[in-house]
A and B are shown apart, each in its own frame.
Chain A
Amino acid sequence: MNTALEAIKITKKYLKDGKPKFVLKDFSMEVEKGEIISILGASGCGKTTALNVIGGFEKTDSGQVLLGGEKIKAPSFSMIMVFQDSHQLFPWLDLHDNIALPVKKRYKKQPKAFYEKKTADMLVQVGLEGYGNYYPHELSGGMRQRGAIARALASEPDLLLMDEPFANVDAITRDSLQDLLLGIWREKGLTVVFVTHDIEEALYISDRILIMGKESGKVKRIAKNEWKGLRKTKESYFDEKERIKSEIMV
């Protein structure tokens, strides 16, 4: 397999009453090209921090992140983050302009038709054709997350970083957003690091699941997942779910 990204022994701590508290301790992972890997853990386990470090948004105390062998120092177009916040689209730009903004920044001095085509393609890809002239506040939470995914993919990043992107929408919308992600993954071969606290979500979308313990900031286990694209079907699914649950609660 082809390694897209490596996080090597990342440690991040802060001092609490004079004693070091670890947010991340020797956090290491590899991301293969073309896989969806989830970082799964309870709130406060350090999974969002791990994602921020990977994307270059946060500094570490030690350790490093390598993307294609290059050390990551700051955020860039190589890795685009989709956030949980359903207000991540700029409210002062309509959906079309929100998506066109990174396209124009990434591909400079192209003819207008180039930008228009890329933007229109992305709208179709996420099922928001015809909504280009809508402002974010005129869209539902689920549609806004679709828009955020379109904006992220429009600049064709090597890696898509997703920080609980479907946590703020209702269950039905969440299912359809997960299917959307899998659909685009099948079609385009994305590489995704997906942070979630939802075990079923991790089982449904991931090739591999990185399980974090509750407080140590350590990686418990990186598991190959057999349930990708399948909703709860067999007895063994529930066994796996219960096993992960017991792991992330301690």
Chain B
Amino acid sequence: MKRLKSLAAALFVLALWQAGASSGLLDPMVFPSPEDVAKSLVKGLAGGDLPIQILFSLELIGKGLLISGMLAILTGYACMKMEGFRKIVETIVTLIHPLPGVALLPLVILWVGTGKTAIIIIIVHGAFWPLMQNVLTGIAAIPYIYFKVGDNYGLSIREQIFRISIPASAPFIIAGFKIAWARAWRALISAEMIFGAAGLAGGIGWAIYKSRVFMDIAGIVSGLAVIMLIGITVEKFVFGFIEKRTVEKWGMTE
């Protein structure tokens, strides 16, 4: 029922958009009709570079999130064991978290040039800090009794991390990854637009930017649509899937 309602709402907006375009209210030079966007999308997906560009962008995001995730969990555990270290990390997170990734670009370019590595660094910057913040909050929220039970049953350090700390703070870690995922996209698109085609055909950010040069308005909007579609898909299916199998199943969602 909820799904049907969401679908109906989406169709309504789409119909309104099409009506605006058909009636001439929307100038096709300013904003394309849904039909044009759909055509451009099909063309890009079927014959163009779009699939490669999507994969290229996803690969960079995947790598960036993987690095951020491992760093955050390791740092988080070190923070749990060392009070002083936690204070330092908290200070660094507070200082660097608000810094826009684009502001770091000049520095990153001087360090590693303008290739894939530079984009991944910008993504990690976007994703790591909010994730780290959530991991720290999550660790602070773990009931002490779990560690007491763990001590009683002689769990090793590795088991304390993987069998207690991570599942016990799972709601925060998942929420952190959701924010990290959104931030990673922003970081990726801005970095791609500034760097240009860092790979063979570049990524989606580059595809959108390039369309501007050819006045391909439908191309620009179809690029935006791709970003939105991937965003919704990952939110609903990837995160939805993970939540259903972890925090929802464990009753840890409240």
Contact = CB atoms under 8 A, between A and B. Distances in A.
A137 interface: yes
Interface stretch (A7-15, A24-32, A80-88): A80-88
Interface in A58-79: 74-77
B235 interface: no
B151 A75 contact: yes
Contacts of A137: 250-252
Nearest to B254: A137
B151 A74 contact: yes
Interface stretch (B152-160, B200-208, B225-233): B152-160
Given A90-B167, A91-B250, A76 B148 contact: no
Contact of B152 (A75, A87, A90): A75
B6 to A, nearest CB: 28
B121 interface: no
A85 B250 contact: no
Chain A binding surface, main DSSP class: loop
A92 B168 contact: yes
A75 B149 CA distance: 9
A136 B251 contact: yes
Contacts of A238: none
Contacts of A55: 152
Interface in B139-192: 143, 145-146, 148-149, 151-155, 163-164, 167-168, 170
Contacts of A135: 249-251
A120 B155 CA distance: 22
A88 B148 CA distance: 9
A90 B153 contact: no
Contacts of B154: 76-77, 105-106
A114 interface: no
Contact of A85 (B145, B246, B251): B145
A53 B162 CA distance: 28
Nearest to A91: B250
A138 B251 contact: yes
25 contacts: A57-B151, A75-B151, A75-B152, A76-B154, A77-B152, A77-B154, A83-B148, A83-B149, A85-B143, A85-B145, A88-B149, A90-B146, A90-B167, A90-B168, A91-B250, A91-B252, A92-B167, A92-B170, A101-B163, A105-B153, A105-B155, A106-B153, A135-B250, A135-B251, A137-B252
Given A83-B149, A105-B154, 4 more contacts: A57-B148, A91-B251, A101-B163, A136-B251
